[in-house]
Amino acid sequence: MFAERLSGFQGSLKSFRPDCLPGAGDQPAVPEERLVEKLVLAGEAALAASWPQIRAYDYREYGLNGNRSRFEELYFRRRLMLNDLALAEWAQGQGRFLDAIIDGLILILEESGWQLPAHNSYERGGKRLSLPNPDDPVVDLFAAETAAILSTTLYLLRDRLDALDPLVTTRVEREIHRRIFKPYLDRHFWWMGRGDERMNNWTAWITQNVLLAAFTLPTDDTLRRAILPKALSSLDAFLKDYAEDGACEEGVVYYRHAGLCLFGAMTILDQVAPGAMAPLWQEPKIRNMAEYICHMHVGGDYYFNFADSSAVVPPCGAREYLFGRAVGSGPLMGFAAADFARDENRLMPKEWNLWYRLQAILAAPEIGRYGRPAPAKADHYFPGIGLAIARDDRFALAVKGGHNGESHNHNDVGSITLYKDGQPLLIDVGVETYTAKTFSPRRYEIWTMQSAYHNLPSFGGVMQADGQQFSARDMLVRSDMDEAEISLDIAGAYPAEAEVQSYRRRVRLIRGRHVEIQDDYRGARPATLCLMTVLQPRPDRGVIWLGQQAEIRVEGASAITVEEIEINDARLRQSWPDRLYRLLVPLAGSTLTLTIS
């Protein structure tokens, strides 16, 4: 789609101006006066702080014990401080922050590598080197992100920095050429796409930031015309793995690094090759990708989550709004504008991509004036990933079909997520803080990845297996005014040793009344259903009481037991309290029925 669209473009490639909002032409926007004070205050806080010191051990620690969070905290804090300083100087323009900005630029330029330790490999899934090789840079997510930050900083402040010392901007440009543009053109990294190989968020995310750096810096036409076809090919490789329904198989967290980065790349291309993107904004698949986030929203900060996504996600904002505007989606614009209005962090103070922060600052007046309300939520079905969503005035229900070979996969085929009155009842726990184990052959030793810790059965202790061949069968979705029904057979998600002939799950939302789950099982091993909940359950003679919020009436079960799971992980604690609960419901026969009200 992208390569074909731009293959015949003969015009000159323009530079990209990150302070111009999409669709607003070449006129740079300026921050509102009320926002300038906030930016200056943040800059002053960064000015008073000390720059983090990064030791060789900090980088090596990932290889020594698998911890990646301690290095990343130092790495990202440098970039956040630089962003705060750059925005404060851009907004105020008095030169107060320039010396500190130069300090931050040089510190980042003197890092041996911009790639994270967890990504310090030249092949997909290859061995991670303990330290970066400065003579052979790796272009990963955050090497490209760093290039985007630095190039945007130069765009905003080049004249002021040059007035102090022109060697600074020269060196920044040289390092971006050496660390990003040269390896990008000379080497094939897996995320660039090749044949039918499946891509993920890396492809759109890195491509966006390479384009941003290449067209924001004063690069020559030869370099730009060398980078452009590789970038277009990568965007096509990324888009091929999306179904027409636009669903992100990596979950709502990765929508912002996948679909929204596709939007970012298209925004850059739209400006540098005027008119080239116009028909693509009207493509139904692109619009569906944009609106995916609306359908996944439950209420407040809660979203239906699966894979390596969290149940609690920060509110939507400027990028979602601008994507909605670009594809002509009033529902997405209204949803994002409503979230933007309620978000105290709408200017994205913890965001390390400086361009995203510029967009939020400059789009704030327009978003604040957007008067249409967020649309009412409705049932929705994503056949591409086998995800069905049903709602009424009290319940919000999602059933996940699909397969266990998705990007950021958890073994969760057939799992159910259920909210009542905007609060979680049956949950998908999510993922713990990433470590070396998370993306290793031992991934499915982690409890949050296992089907036995989703709302699913196990058979004599045998859980679901990972791989695309372990999938749902015969998924059927029906919806009318009175009820919604989702049914599927999940036997195919289990290995042969589970000895499952069929496990037909039927989930009904009878609107205004209750949710019914009926599991029909044929197989040789004893079946035990797991239910994960945030509310302390109290089983009592065929009824499971979930606090004061809900009750589950159970038919066809043996004695139910409850396990308490202590939650200490920082990432999980962003969504859940310090304890979760696991109900174990043994099937007494071939049919188990749960009625939730």
Mark whether 532 and 402 lie in a shared domain: yes
The answer to whether position 76 is within a domain reads yes
Please tell me the predicted confidence (pLDDT) of residue 10.
76
Q: Which of 204, 314, 317 is nearest to 264 (CA)?
A: 204
| 329-333 contacts, C-beta under 8 A, 24 or more apart | 329/287, 329/290, 329/291, 330/372, 330/375, 331/291, 331/294, 331/374, 331/375, 332/290, 332/291, 332/293, 332/294, 333/370, 333/372
Mark whether 59 and 19 lie in a shared domain: no
From CA 319, how far away is CA 137, in angstroms rounded? Answer: 30
Please tell me the predicted confidence (pLDDT) of residue 298.
97
Mark whether 298 and 159 lie in a shared domain: no
The answer to whether position 213 is within a domain reads no
Please tell me the predicted confidence (pLDDT) of residue 368.
93
Mark whether 423 and 559 lie in a shared domain: yes
Mark whether 10 and 150 lie in a shared domain: no
- Of 153, 169, 187, which closes a domain? 187
Chunked in runs of 10, what are the mean pLDDT values of the chain (597 residues)?
83 92 77 92 98 98 96 98 98 97 98 98 94 98 98 98 97 98 97 96 98 98 95 98 97 96 97 91 97 97 96 96 97 96 93 96 94 89 98 98 96 98 97 95 97 98 98 97 98 98 98 98 98 96 94 97 97 97 98 98
The answer to whether position 573 is within a domain reads yes
The answer to whether position 174 is within a domain reads yes
The answer to whether position 201 is within a domain reads no
The answer to whether position 234 is within a domain reads no
What is the domain count for the chain?
3
Range of 399's domain? 380-596
Q: Using DSSP, state whether 462 is helix, strand or coil.
A: strand
Mark whether 352 and 397 lie in a shared domain: no
Please tell me the predicted confidence (pLDDT) of residue 112.
98
DSSP 298: E
Mark whether 37 and 178 lie in a shared domain: yes
Mark whether 589 and 444 lie in a shared domain: yes
Mark whether 427 and 500 lie in a shared domain: yes
Q: Which of 473, 291, 322 is nearest to 389 (CA)?
A: 291
Neighbour tally for 422: CB within 10 Å: 11
- Of 343, 376, 409, which closes a domain? 376
- Of 342, 376, 410, which closes a domain? 376
What's the pTM?
Answer: 0.96
